[in-house]
Amino acid sequence: MSLEREYIPPQGLEESWFGISPAQGTTKRYREFAYPPYVPPPPIPPTEGDEELGEFVVYPFAQDAVLSADPTYSYTAEYTIDATDYAELAYWELNKAVDILSVFANLVCALKSGDATTVTAKWQIKSGVHAGGGSYIDLTDAFTETSTSHIDHSRSGVVSKLTSFPTTCPITLALMAKKTVAAADGKAKIKSNTYLRIGYKV
């Protein structure tokens, strides 16, 4: 006794092959059908009001490749802290034609104090290019150091939630520092793993 089974393909399918396969003492005759290759629909043309969203990560002060053997211990050259009032030690400018949606920052610098003095530093940001633009606002709290050896100070978080944070480019990030005794020495340097993760729209 034999059993024949034939499948009728749904509309739009193509027959791929035909064969006979013995199974459990019976003969089954069957066909298999394959869907035609998928053809994606054409892209929807842009309309007024459409926005391009994206994200990028930058390492503004990286001196070596971030994927080097141990980037955690790579720093910029030392900056001298000269003033007893806050003064800019280093800056980075982002001049890209985008609107800023969010910014996560990981900011790390090492401070070293001279004898009989305390050094204090903080990160700030402003809207506009370095040579102009608006006024700096605090991105972090102030942190101090009295050690005569370099000590790391790290700050991280979603800084775009801060009041008055710039929402358009260009922007300028800066490390500010001061010392308590004018005649004493103070040094700072920035770790190469300092980075900004920026979400944007165009």
> How many residues are present in the chain?
202
Cα–Cα distance for residue pair 103/60, rounded to 1 Å: 14
pLDDT of residue 17: 45
DSSP state of 172: E
Q: What is the DSSP letter of 140?
A: S
Report the pLDDT value the prediction gives residue 6, as an integer from 0 to 100: 52
Report the pLDDT averaged over residues 175-201.
92
Q: Is the dihedral of CA 13, 14, 16, 17 positive or negative?
A: positive
d(CA 151, CA 147): 7
The band of 201, judged by pLDDT with boundaries at 50, 70 and 90, is: confident
- Identity of the amino acid at 39: V
Q: How far apart are CA 3 and CA 54, in angstroms?
A: 60
For 47-90, what is each residue's pLDDT tens digit?
555 567 888 888 898 865 655 566 556 888 999 999 999 999 99
Q: Return the minimum-mean-pLDDT range out of 57-71, 80-94, 130-144, 168-182.
A: 57-71
- The pLDDT value given to residue 62: 80
* Predicted pLDDT at 153: 96
Average pLDDT of 138-167? 93
- As a whole-number percent, the residues of the chain with pLDDT over 70 amount to 69
Residue 177: its pLDDT value, please?
96
Percent of the chain clearing pLDDT 90 (strictly above): 46
Q: Where are the beta strands (DSSP E) in 10-62?
A: 14-23, 26-34, 53-58
pLDDT at 28: 47
Domain 53-201 belongs in CATH node 2.20.70: no
What is the rounded CA–CA span in Å between residue 131 and residue 133? 7
What is the pLDDT confidence band of residue 155, given thresholds at 50, 70 and 90? Answer: very high
Residue ranges covered by each domain of the chain: 1-37, 53-201
Name the amino acid, one letter, at 201.
K
Q: Look up residue 8 and give its amino acid.
A: I
